[in-house]
A = this chain, B = another copy of it.
Amino acid sequence: MKNTFGNLLQITLFGESHGAAIGCVIDGLPAGIAIDEDLIKKQMEKRKAKGRISTQRHEADEVHIVSGYFNGYTTGTPITILIENTNTRSKDYTKTRYRLRPSHADYCAEVKYNGYQDYRGGGHFSGRLTAPLVAAGAIAIQILKQKGIEIATHIENLHGICDTPFHHEETMLTQQINKLHELEFAVLDDNAAQAMHSCIEDAAKQGDSVGGILESCIYNLPCGIGEPFFDSLESHLSHLLFSIPAIKGVSFGLGFDFAKHYGSEVNDALYFDTKVKTKTNNNGGINGGISNGMPILIHTVVKPTPSIYKQQDTIDAKTKEAVKLVIEGRHDPAIIHRARVVVDSVLALGVLDLLLEKEAASHL
C-alpha cells in the first residue's frame, strides 16, 4: 500500500501543495464517537506557520469533514477530511522548475513520475500534506484521551540547544505532558525555548535553516500492544514517523546510546507497585516489540529544512548542466516546532490502530 496505512484504522492521504485541496480518508473508526471540533482547530493551530520562525505562506487550513460524520458523531463509515489550498503563488515555482533543489525530492520525483509530477510547491511531497494528518490525528487523540492515553512531544534539542528531558517520575511527567498540550512552541524549559526561538530567527536572517531532535512520550498505553513480527510497536510507529517529511532517524528508549553500555547497566529491573513497573525505562516502554505498560519514549531527528536562501550548486534537470540556484518563494527556516504536532498525530493514529487490533483478539 502506498498512500494508505493501517490495519483496522486506515488512513489514506491525498493532495498536492498547489492543487484544489488536500485531505485524507479515515476508515475503521467505530460509530458513535463524538468529535470535538475545537480540539481539531487547536491542533491545526499548533501546526500553523506564525511569526518570523516559519514560512510567510499563511493558510487558513479550515477543516471540512465531508463524510462519515453526522449530527456530531462518527457514523462508522469513512470520514473524509478536506482542506482547501488558498494562499498559493504557483508562479514562484514555474521559473525554477528544472533547477533541482538540493536535498529536496525534485530529482527523485522527476525520475519516478517521469516529469508528470505536480512540481508546484513540492506537490505531493509538500509539508502541507501533514495538515490533514494533524486533523485526523486530532480525532485519534480525543479517543485515546478518553481511554486515559496521552501523547506529547517537545523539542529536546534544537541545533545543540537542549530542553529538559521527560521525567521518569510519573507525577512530574504528567505535569510536563499537560504543559505541552497548552504550549504553541513545545519546549519545557523557558530559557531553552527563548534560546531556540532566537536560533531559528538567526538562521532565518542568514537565509539558512536548522533542525533538531524531538522527544515524544505515549503515556498510559496498556501493556500488550504490538506484535513480535512484523508489526512490532517500533515497526508500526517508525513506519508512520518516517512518512513525515524531514525525519531521518527514529529511536526508542536509550536508542543509539545502548551501544555504550553493558547489558547489566541497561536492563530494566521489574518491580511491583500497584502494577508491574520497571525501575529504569531504558527500553522506552517496549520489549519484544510489545508495550510493557511504562511510558513509550521516542526520539526523532528532524533535518534542517532544505529550502535555504543561500546560493547552491545544482544541475538543470533537462540539460544536466551545472547551475547556481537561489531559491525564492516562502519557506520555513525550521520546521521542527511545527513538526511536533505532526509527530503527536501519527503516533496517535498508529497507537489507535493497534489498540483496535488488540480489542478484536481480546473479546472474541
Contacts and interface: CB of A to CB of B under 8 A. Distances in A.
Of A31, A116, A208, chain B has the most CB atoms within 10 Å of the CB of A116
Of A103, A306, A362, chain B has the most CB atoms within 10 Å of the CB of A103
- Say whether chain A's binding surface is mostly helix, strand, loop, or mixed: mixed
A271 B30 contact: no
Interface string A1-32: 11111011011111110011111010110111
Interface stretch (A50-58, A167-175, A180-188, A258-266): A258-266
Contacts of A212: 259
Interface in A108-150: 108-109, 111-118, 123-125, 129, 143
A284 B248 contact: yes
A310 B262 CA distance: 11
A43 B16 CA distance: 27
Nearest to A234: B242
Contact of A107 (B7, B30, B115, B223): B223
Nearest to A277: B315
B157 A259 contact: yes
A129 B230 CA distance: 11
A113 B31 contact: yes
Interface residues of A, number: 152
Nearest to A9: B360
A179 to B, nearest CB: 23
Count the copies: 4
B27 A3 contact: yes
A222 to B, nearest CB: 8
Contacts of A242: 232, 234-235, 238, 289
Given A77-B124, A261-B211, A301-B255, A112 B224 contact: yes
A4 B250 contact: no
A74 interface: yes
Nearest to A155: B259
A107 B276 contact: yes
A287 B268 CA distance: 37
25 contacts: A2-B230, A3-B27, A8-B360, A14-B25, A14-B27, A15-B67, A15-B78, A31-B112, A75-B116, A76-B361, A78-B124, A102-B267, A103-B268, A105-B288, A107-B276, A111-B223, A112-B290, A124-B228, A129-B228, A236-B239, A238-B242, A248-B252, A256-B256, A263-B305, A263-B306
Given A8-B357, A20-B67, A250-B250, 10 more contacts: A2-B28, A12-B78, A32-B114, A159-B260, A242-B289, A248-B258, A262-B304, A270-B313, A357-B360, A359-B364
